[in-house]
């Protein structure tokens, strides 16, 4: 388990705080974006096709949020 402090990581702390406010759950699971049969070190441009081929609903890369509505990618 890893804890996040507002002083040392304010951006991630805000994300966790908002997630808890919206869901009531104070925990997020952070994992690498590895899909069987795909290279571990994909370039950012290769992640969208990979995302579309999985059941993953949302992918956050830096300031970019990619999410699917059905089979249509949307960007925020």
Query: Are 25 and 19 a contacting pair, CB within 8 Å?
Result: yes
As a three-state string, the secondary structure of 6-67 is CCCCHHHHHHHHHHHHHHCCCCCCCCCCCCCCCCCCCCHHHHHHHHHCCCCCEEEECCEEEE
Domain chopping of the chain, boundaries: 1-30, 35-76
Supply the pLDDT for residue 69. Answer: 74
More confident of the two residues 22 and 55: 22
Supply the pLDDT for residue 2. Answer: 79
Rounded to an integer, the average pLDDT of 31-56 is: 67
For the segment 1-38, what is each residue's pLDDT rounded down to a tens digit? 778 899 998 988 998 899 899 999 988 876 666 667 66
Query: Are 33 and 59 a contacting pair, CB within 8 Å?
Result: yes
Supply the pLDDT for residue 64. Answer: 78
């Amino acid at each position: 388990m890893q804890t996040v402090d507002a002083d040392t990581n304010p951006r991630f702390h805000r994300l966790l705080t908002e997630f808890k406010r919206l869901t009531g759950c104070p925990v997020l699971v952070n994992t690498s974006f590895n899909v069987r049969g795909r290279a571990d070190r994909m370039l950012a441009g290769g992640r969208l096709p990979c995302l579309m081929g999985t059941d993953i609903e949302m992918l956050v890369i830096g300031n970019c949020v990619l999410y699917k509505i059905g089979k249509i990618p949307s960007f925020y």
